[in-house]
Homo-oligomer: A and B are copies of this chain.
Amino acid sequence: MPDFKDNGRTYYNPVEYAMHQIGGTWKMPILWRLNKQTMRYSELKKYLPHISHKMLTTQLRELEHNGFVTRTVFPVVPPKVEYTLTDKGRRAIPVIATIRQYGMDLMREAGIDPDEVFKRKT
């Protein structure tokens, strides 16, 4: 496939284009979690304990910029901000589900039982 441009950046195939929008370590876990329910910043942070404050903010900005989530600010003190999946964000969910399922298949091949890991509390 020849290359094409979007937003000033050059891409060489559709996989690269998709991965640039929902790839990286954090975007899919964030979208996956927001699909379960709308959440405010601190809730999201609680469910993703290993992401840093800066990274969560940055990733949410990019997801918002690319139209995957909406950001709702409530004018109260202390601040309250909620993040919700858009239609575009919801369309990414089946793809993430596929990758997730594949990841669990790979775990089994490697001798790791996903069900067992899910059951653990720590």
Contact = CB atoms under 8 A, between A and B. Distances in A.
A95 to B, nearest CB: 5
A14 B110 CA distance: 12
Interface string A1-27: 110101000001111111101010100
Contacts of A100: 13-15, 18
Interface in A88-122: 88, 91-92, 95-96, 98-107, 109-110, 112, 114, 117-118, 120-122
Interface in A70-101: 88, 91-92, 95-96, 98-101
Contact of A98 (B28, B98, B103, B112): B98
A14 B109 CA distance: 13
